[in-house]
Amino acid sequence: MARHTFIRNTTSFWVWIAMAALVLVADQFTKVLMVSTYQLGEGFAVNSFFNIVRVHNEGAAFSFLATAGGWQRWFFTGLGVVATLGMVWMLKKHPGQKLFGFAIACILGGAVGNVMDRVLYGYVVDFLDFYYAGIHFPAFNVADCGISVGAACLILDEVLRVRRGN
C-alpha cells in the first residue's frame, strides 16, 4: 500500500472517531442538563405534540426488559461494549467508505452514550417525548437519534451497494 493511501485511510478513521465523539458529547451534554435541571417525570411542553421530560429507561429500546430485575443493566452494558469494539474494528477496516463510515460513527456515538448512562446511573436518561392524540411515542434521547440516523444510513448504504453490484 502506498504511503499516501495509508495516511488517507488513517485520517478517515480518525474523522469517523471524531464524528462519533461529537454525537457522544452532544448526547452526554443534553443528559447532564436534564439530570441537573429536572427530577424524574418533570419537564415542560414545547408545543402541542412535543415535550421535554426526564424519563429513565432501565431496559433497551422501547423499554424492552425494563422490569427484568436489574441483570439487564449489565447485559446491555456488555452488549454495548462488544458492539463498540465491533464498530471501531469496522471503521478501521473500511475508513474510506463515506456513507458506511458516517452510519457507523453515528451508531457508535449513540451506543457509547447509552452505555455510559447504564454505567453511571443504572438506566438511560431519555427526554424527547413526542405524542399525538394522547398517544406517546417512547421517549428517547440524542444517542437514540444518532443510532436511528446511523441505522437508516446503513440500510441506504447497503441498498446502494447492492444496486452497484458490489
* Domain layout of the chain by residue ranges: 3-164
Distance CA 128, CA 137 (A): 9
Find how far residue 139's CA is from the centre of its chain. Answer: 14
Write down the pTM of the prediction.
0.85
35-75 tens-digit pLDDT: 999 999 999 999 999 999 999 987 666 555 555 555 666 77
Strand partners, 18: none
Q: Which three cell numbers stand for residue 140?
A: 428517547
143-157 tens-digit pLDDT: 999 999 999 999 999
Active site amino acids? 126, 144
